[in-house]
Amino acid sequence: MKKLEIGVCTSVWYEDEHLEESLRFIRDCGFEAIDFSFDRLYNSTLDKEKLTSFYDRSREEREAYFRRVKEAVEKYGLHISQGHGLFPIYVPGDERGNAYRTQVTNTMIEACSYLGCKYLVVHPWAGGKMTAEEQFRINRDIYRGLMDTARRCGVTICLENLYFICDNARETCQYIDDLNQDAGAELFGFCFDVAHANLMINNLYQYITLLGDRLKVLHIHDNDGTNDTHMLPFTQVKNVRKLALDWEGLIKGLRDAHFEGCLSFETVFGLEVLPPEMRPAGLRFVFAAGEYLRKRITEE
């Protein structure tokens, strides 16, 4: 097994106006890769009335921005292991908005390709009292709208386990296989969100090993098994002596599934709640947790 990268999402520590300083800082905390939040650019620039955002700027303006990102990432020896897409990508009854969100996501896929990022996480939609079959039909139509761009750009679209969708491993595998069959190519994979699994999935090891090579990227964070709090790893407990998340199942699952991607942390709120002066220490703790996981996963 090759050496796994350790990465973190661009949240809390990353600032556009201090791009180089941000990336130098995260490199100095030990990280080797980043999960780029394409959704943050959308959310921070969206005009809800006009339905415009950063992604409607000219190709030249977008490329100028991403060129700065690409050059700084390369300067500090980092790698964009994956990207974070829109959530939600679909809202029932909002046809105009849904068409726009699909358009934006296609532009994000193009940006991924430019940045050398192989994976974009595009969350599936789960709808209230709908059956699994009804949800699949809606999501299949959403993902069909991304297939041509993904194929042209060489980017894999990754579904993610959320609440009440993709919480059954066998159904998830079938979901991905059906989409790839529909596309006539392997355009779809999976992002396993470790802490979402702690809320919805009983057996992390079984889920991961059933995914096999469909598993492309990870979102690693922690919670107490009740709330989706995105906390620092190994910090949440069920009682005084027992961790809330099955870290041993995760380690063994990734080892036995021969995972060779990035150990990418999505510890957003766990860093936000820290006083700013403590955030560097928090990030170094996250990296240390990544080193521990890497050692355990790759050990013979």
pLDDT value for 240: 78
- 106: containing domain: 5-298
Q: Is the pLDDT of residue 297 over 90?
A: yes
Answer yes or no: are the C-beta atoms of 89 and 125 closer than 8 Å.
yes
Number of domains present in the structure of the chain: 1
* Chain segment 77-135, per-residue pLDDT in tens: 999 999 999 999 999 999 999 999 999 999 999 999 999 999 999 999 987 777 878 88
CATH number, domain containing residue 229: 3.20.20.150
Q: What is the mean pLDDT of residues 161-172?
A: 91
* Chain segment 142-153, per-residue pLDDT in tens: 999 999 999 999
Q: What region does 87 belong to: left with phi over 0, alpha with psi -120 to 50, or beta?
A: beta
Q: Is the pLDDT of residue 1 over 60?
A: no
* Chain segment 228-284, per-residue pLDDT in tens: 999 999 999 988 789 999 999 999 999 999 999 999 999 999 999 999 999 999 999
- Dig out the tokens for 62 from the structure: 């977008």
> Across the chain, what does the average pLDDT equal?
95
Q: What is the mean pLDDT of residues 16-44?
A: 97
Answer yes or no: are the C-beta atoms of 287 and 267 closer than 8 Å.
no
pLDDT value for 273: 97
Q: What is the mean pLDDT of residues 158-170?
A: 93
